[in-house]
């Protein structure tokens, strides 16, 4: 090679002949961070390529192989390999270029280089944080079509992993899928090989930071069911605190995730937990409303009584009676009989009106039931009015206490039912949630791998 042998590094081996077969293998030195927001992963690898260049065969040296200085790489032909899904990469030059060049007697060339790569990894986060991701590494030729260059994986141990390799959140499965990803462009068909890494997420971090705290917050919201319904500041304060805390937890769970359009497993959990703490707050609103209904009931009864008293005192009722008395067949005797009946009703009205908040008797047109100055009753044809509709019975103090106790018992019954319904509903949700994501979908993922 150092002699004037006519070697040209710009021309591939077997020029105008069969394509050059390049076998590749990689050694994963470290598997770095896997980022969901940018959907990529970082790793440090030793990339090794081996091909045969008959122009570099030698017989002058007894050694089976020669290790040459990496600076000789510029003097020989090399495959134009690149990583198709690369986002960023860099070489290592400390303390010298991390490259290896070895030439064998038959002209085979081994080229090894150390690289740190950032590769894209499209992720499906529907099962997050109980998901399994598949990240690929694609090795492709940039300028040589398959008529000139073909990449192949090494037949034995094409992908090796360091023994002490650990990932903070994932477990790298031992089985790696090797295959071809031949690319078809307008410029031709280019060789491409790929390896798929299966990464199973460990949810210990999310269990401690997300699931257990949110579970405790939901249980804490149920404490209000055992607090007296009259302690409104305590129950309202507890309900609002749990709702705000749950909202903060939900926002924190989405901070480290991309803004995807589909629903993730963690989103369902947080949404249901927020729904439960919010429902506990609304439950106290219902309890408080029911416990105060007796006051509204008494107020409506009093209002109804007052409206009927006012109706009975309207002047139109007198005119109606006059028309009735003027009809044929209405005798004077029947008129006086009606008058006597009505005056007895007026006496009851007078008593009721005096009981209701100091209303004046004469202000409601009931003066016709009084005697005149001479002690006689007024004439029935002139003052007779039809009897008003019957009034509801007045609410006594005893009745008010009974109503109050009845509505308070209803409110307490709501609390008693909630003490059983809320935990039972949350337990059913947990069984359904964990069975779906840890059993059913986990089996589906393993079946698809």
DSSP state string for 48-114? EEEEE-GGG---SSSSSEEEE-GGGGGGS----EEETTEEEEEE--SSS--EEEEEETTSEEEEEEE
Predicted TM-score of the model (pTM): 0.72
Which of 85-99, 162-176, 426-440 bottoms out in mean pLDDT, i.e. has the lowest?
162-176
The percent of residues in the chain predicted with pLDDT above 70, rounded, is 73
* Per-residue pLDDT at 72: 92
Contact 106, 53 (CB under 8 A): no
Find the helix or strand (DSSP H, E) in which 281 lies.
helix 265-291
pLDDT bucket at 84, cuts 50 / 70 / 90: very high
User: Which pLDDT tens digit goes with each residue over 39-58?
Assistant: 999 999 999 999 999 999 99
User: Would you say the C-alpha torsion 417, 422, 423, 428 has a positive or negative sign?
Assistant: positive
Please state, in angstroms and rounded to a whole number, the distance separating the CA atoms of residues 273 and 216: 10
pLDDT of 299 strictly over 90: no
Residues whose CB is less than 8 angstroms from the CB of residue 237 and which lie 6 or more positions away in sequence, other chains included: none
pLDDT of 430 strictly over 80: yes
pLDDT of 300 strictly over 70: no
Place of tokens 């009989």: 337
pLDDT of 359 strictly over 60: no
User: Which pLDDT tens digit goes with each residue over 254-298?
Assistant: 888 999 999 999 999 999 999 999 999 999 999 988 887 766 666
* Per-residue pLDDT at 292: 79
Contact 267, 130 (CB under 8 A): no
Q: Where are the beta strands (DSSP E) in 121-233?
A: 132-141, 149-153, 159-161, 170-172, 177-180, 183-185, 188-190, 192-201
* Per-residue pLDDT at 384: 45
**Per-residue CA distances from 392 to 71, 140, 295, 400 (Å):** 110, 93, 16, 14
20 closest CA partner among 137, 111, 136, 115: 111
Q: What is the mean pLDDT of the chain?
A: 82
pLDDT bucket at 440, cuts 50 / 70 / 90: confident
Phi then psi dihedrals of residue 246, to 5 deg: -65, -35
Look up residue 428 and give its two tokens: 């059913």
pLDDT bucket at 358, cuts 50 / 70 / 90: very low
User: Which pLDDT tens digit goes with each residue over 218-250?
Assistant: 999 999 999 998 899 999 999 999 999 999 999
Contact 10, 32 (CB under 8 A): no
* Per-residue pLDDT at 304: 63
């Amino acid at each position: 090679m150092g002699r004037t042998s006519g070697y040209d590094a710009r021309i591939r081996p077997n020029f105008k002949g069969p394509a050059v077969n390049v076998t590749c293998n990689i050694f994963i030195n470290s598997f770095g961070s896997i980022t969901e927001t940018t959907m990529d992963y970082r790793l440090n690898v030793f990339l090794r390529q081996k091909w045969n260049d008959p122009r570099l065969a030698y017989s002058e040296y007894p050694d089976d192989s020669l290790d040459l200085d990496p600076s000789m790489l510029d003097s020989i032909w090399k495959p134009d390999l690149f990583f198709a899904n690369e986002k960023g990469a860099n070489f290592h030059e400390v303390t010298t270029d991390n490259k290896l060049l070895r030439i064998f007697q038959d002209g085979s060339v081994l080229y090894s280089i150390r690289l740190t790569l950032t590769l894209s990894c499209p992720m499906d986060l529907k099962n997050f944080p109980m998901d399994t991701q598949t990240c690929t590494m694609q090795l492709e030729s940039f300028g040589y079509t398959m008529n000139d260059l073909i990449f192949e994986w090494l037949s034995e141990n094409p992908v090796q992993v360091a023994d002490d390799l650990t990932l903070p959140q994932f477990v790298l499965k031992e089985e790696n899928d090797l295959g071809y990803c031949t690319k078809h462009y307008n410029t031709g068909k280019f060789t491409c090989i790929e390896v798929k890494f299966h990464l199973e997420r460990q949810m210990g971090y999310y269990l401690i930071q997300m699931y257990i705290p949110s579970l405790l917050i939901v249980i804490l919201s149920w404490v209000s069911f055992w607090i007296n319904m009259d302690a409104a500041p305590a129950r309202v304060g507890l309900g609002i605190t749990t709702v705000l805390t749950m909202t903060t937890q939900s926002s924190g769970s989405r901070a480290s995730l991309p803004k995807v359009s589909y629903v993730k497993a963690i989103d369902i959990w947080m949404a249901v937990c927020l729904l439960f703490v919010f429902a506990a707050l609304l439950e106290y609103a219902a309890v408080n409303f029911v416990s105060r209904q007796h006051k509204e009931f008494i107020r409506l009864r009093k209002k109804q009584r007052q409206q009927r008293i006012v109706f009975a005192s309207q002047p139109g009722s007198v005119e109606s009676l006059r028309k009735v008395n003027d009809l044929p067949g209405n005798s004077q005797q029947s008129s006086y009989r009606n008058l006597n009946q009505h005056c007895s009703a007026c006496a009851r009205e007078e008593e009721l009106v005096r009981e209701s908040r100091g209303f004046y008797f004469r202000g409601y047109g009931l003066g016709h039931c009084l005697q005149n100055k001479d002690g006689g009753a007024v004439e029935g044809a002139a003052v007779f009015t039809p009897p008003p509709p019957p009034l509801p019975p007045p609410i006594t103090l005893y009745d008010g206490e009974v109503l109050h106790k009845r509505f308070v018992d209803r409110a307490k019954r709501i609390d008693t039912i909630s003490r059983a319904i809320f935990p039972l509903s949350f337990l059913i949700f947990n069984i359904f949630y964990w069975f779906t994501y840890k059993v059913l979908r986990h089996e589906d993922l393993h079946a698809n791998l």
